[in-house]
Amino acid sequence: MRIAQDSKDLPGKWYNIIPDLDFDIPLPMGSSGYPLSYHDLEPVASSALIDQELERNIQEVSIPREVAAIYSDWRPTPLYRAEKLEQSLGTPAHIFYKYEGVSPSGGHEMNTAVPQAYYATLDEGVKRLVTATANGEWGISLAIACNYFGIQCKIYMVRSSYDQKVHGRYAMEMLGAEVVPSPSDKTGAGKKILSQDSNSPGSLGIALSEAFEEARSRDDTKFSWGTVMNHVLLHQTVIGLEARLQLRRADAKPDIIISSVGGGSAFGGLIFPFYKERDQEIKMIAVETAAAPSLSNGRYAYDYGDAEGLSPLLKMYTLGHSFVPPGIRAGGLRYHGISPLISALYREKQIEARSYTQRQVIAAATDFARAEGMIPSPECSYAVRAVLDEALDCKQKKKSKNIFFLMDASSNFDLAAFRDFVDEVVEDQPSLDKEVQTALSQLPEVPAH
């Protein structure tokens, strides 16, 4: 059941959580061990985005008129109450979810792609954005946004996805983006990997290294992050800001808020506005894949965002930048680290983390699809598993709670995943302890000052 929607729920400002935290968010650092300044970041990032990344005092950032006009093409996104699911579970809990799948790309990534493309037009001489993508959800979003503002778009796509998940590649190319399989022989980082393994399937970390290198080497090109960074989470707060108003209208204060986490941008955008205004305890659960359990099994340390150490060092829960997660359907959750903001909240015990294997999420996703008539994306299925666990816990304890979660994308862009659900062919990976230990032993040594 859709909660009544009102175009006035679209906020005029994004919410920067940092001033409201009573602990520090460590700054990005260079390998020299000094915090990076505006000027250090300038060669790769748009100036407005650097300001947003480093901002520690201003709580609200106005959404530019040009961005708001595009947001309003699909925002506010709908909020649903999953009554049919509640009934099928026989739970006294009330389950709500916000659905970001109505965006032009079918996912929440549009929320940051649009402002990033817009801000690129404000920097003199900038004509191109370069980024990295795995399955293509982020690349498609950035390609669409670049078209809106007449910016060129170059995308390094993980080679195994480029070869297998061809729909993502073709969609980006149809949208006019230049798509290069990574590792490529176009960059030093790519050549280095290929010299070690000419058949390398690539990884998001490698693709990020190639994109960084290109952004550094060209004055007309800036790098674009799809997740992890503060400014990306800032843009994603439109999700939580809208949801807060929508839930208020439904007279439902959330007791539990749940989202899957890959880099952490959807989760952050969802919970920050609730974190600020909570007048009661809210359990906030970040759900990871057991194939890349950064919060659950990682170390809180400065590490690189990419495989080759070209990105800034970020203080985050990480499995080590050399860790390559096993192949799972939920490609959006395959990343070695997690947003510094989410990492700090976890460090301070403000949020909880939980991880599931692929096999554990299959039944939950199927239950949800049959009750609600909407098939969750592979990534969102992890959140759905946690939602069902919490709802069944309410049933057992005969206690009603408001459970609110994020459906961050439509399922449509990763249909091959359905085969796993139906045939239950999923093999859960064996323990990753050894791989994680190896990668953690390769964390960069950062000089102390």
| Interface with a second copy (CB under 8 A), residue from 32, 87, 400, 412 | 412
Site residues (CB under 8 A) for a second copy, limited to 178-217: none
| Interface with a second copy (CB under 8 A), residue from 27, 142, 145, 353 | 145
Nearer to a second copy, 59 or 164 (CB): 164
- Alpha-carbon distance of 150 to 145, in angstroms, equals 9
User: Is residue 106 near a second copy by the rule CB under 8 A?
Assistant: yes
Closest approach, Cβ 28 to a second copy, in A, equals 31
The strand pairing partners of 161, in sequence order, are: none
Decide: 169 and 136 in contact? Cβ < 8 Å. yes
Indicate the SS3 state at residue 50. Answer: helix
Tokens of 285: 């659960």
User: Is residue 167 near a second copy by the rule CB under 8 A?
Assistant: yes
Closest approach, Cβ 404 to a second copy, in A, equals 17
Rounded-to-10 torsion of CA 7, 270, 244, 230: -80
Element (H, E) at 386: helix 378-397
Taking CB under 8 A as the binding criterion, the range among 41-49, 168-176, 299-307, 317-325 that sits at the site for a second copy is 168-176
Tokens of 325: 């997660």
User: Is residue 11 near a second copy by the rule CB under 8 A?
Assistant: no
Closest approach, Cβ 363 to a second copy, in A, equals 11
Indicate the SS3 state at residue 155. Answer: strand
Taking CB under 8 A as the binding criterion, the range among 198-206, 317-325, 346-354, 362-370 that sits at the site for a second copy is 362-370
Residue 99 CB-half CA count within 13 A: 22
Q: Any idea which residue has 């407005």 for tokens?
A: 48
Q: What's the longest Cα–Cα distance across the chain?
A: 62
User: Is residue 369 near a second copy by the rule CB under 8 A?
Assistant: yes
Q: Across the chain, how many H-helices and E-strands are there?
A: 18, 14
| Interface with a second copy (CB under 8 A), residue from 194, 245, 371, 446 | 371
Q: Any idea which residue has 């979810």 for tokens?
A: 97
User: Is residue 153 near a second copy by the rule CB under 8 A?
Assistant: no
User: Is residue 418 near a second copy by the rule CB under 8 A?
Assistant: yes
Nearer to a second copy, 28 or 378 (CB): 378
Indicate the SS3 state at residue 367. Answer: helix
Beta strands in 305-351 (DSSP E): 313-318
Number of residues interacting with a second copy: please give it, by CB under 8 A.
44
Residues that bind a second copy (CB under 8 A): 1-2, 4-5, 7, 69, 72-74, 78, 80, 84, 102, 104, 106, 144-145, 147-148, 166-167, 170-171, 173-176, 365-366, 369-371, 373-375, 410, 412-413, 415-416, 418-419, 421-422
